[in-house]
Amino acid sequence: MKKLPETITEEELIEIIKNVNHNHHKLAFLLGFYEGMRISEITSLEPGNVDKGQKLLRIKQAKGSKDRNIPIAPEVLSGLKYLPIKCGIRALQMAFKKYSKKVLDRDLHFHCLRHSSATHYLSKKKWNIRQVQQFLGHASLDSTMIYTHVSPSDLIDKMWNLPEKAKD
C-alpha cells in the first residue's frame, strides 16, 4: 500500500509562520503553500517575475522547461517585497523541517507544502481537479492525483451530506 503524502492545514501553516523569525523563510513557506510552488521555483523567483497589475507570478523554465503563470494569493502579496529569497534550497529545507518539528511536533519536508496546497484548493476552496492540475503545472492528471489528499472527515461529510454549519 502506498503511503499518503504528508499535508498540513492552513491553520497549521499560520502557526508555523507565527514562529518564523526571517521574512524570507516566511515568504518561502507562504509561496509553497498558497502558490503550490516547488522549492527550486521559489529560490529562483525574482521581483521581475511578479506582475502585480495582472496579479500573476510568472514562473520561468519550471520542471520540464515549462513556463507557467499562477495567480498571486492575497496571503502572499505583501510578502513579495522580500524577493528574491535570500537562501538556497538546502537552507529552506532545513528551516521548514526545524519549524514543523518545533511547532507541530512533526518531521515534515518542504515539499509537503505543495501537497498541502493541492489539498487546500480542492477541499477548502472547492477548485476542481483540472484547475489544480493547471495551477501546479502538471502535464498529466495522474501527477495531480498524487498531490491531492482527501481527509477522512471530508469523506464522512460527503457520505452524510453534512452542510458546513452541521459540522460543529
In this structure, what CATH number is given to the domain that contains residue 91?
1.10.443.10
Q: Is residue 3 part of a domain?
A: no
Cα separation, 62 vs 28, in Å, equals 16
Residue 2 lies inside a defined structural domain of this protein:
no
Grid coordinates given for 101: 518539528
Q: What is the pTM assigned to this prediction?
A: 0.83
User: Which of the 8 DSSP states describes residue 137?
Assistant: T
What is the predicted pLDDT for the residue at 142? 74
In this prediction, residue 148 carries a pLDDT of: 65
Q: Is residue 158 part of a domain?
A: yes
Assigned domain for 4 exists: no
**For 63-67, 82-86, 89-93, which range has the lowest pLDDT when averaged over its residues?**
63-67
Range of the domain at 101: 10-167
DSSP 8-state assignment for residue 118: H
1 within some domain: no
Mean pLDDT for the chain? Answer: 86
pLDDT above 60 for 106: yes
Mean pLDDT confidence for 150-154: 57
pLDDT above 90 for 56: yes
Q: How far apart are CA 78 and CA 155, in angstroms?
A: 35
Q: Quote the number of domains for the chain.
A: 1
pLDDT in tens, 7-34: 999 999 999 999 999 999 999 999 999 9
- pLDDT surpassing 80 at residue 116: yes
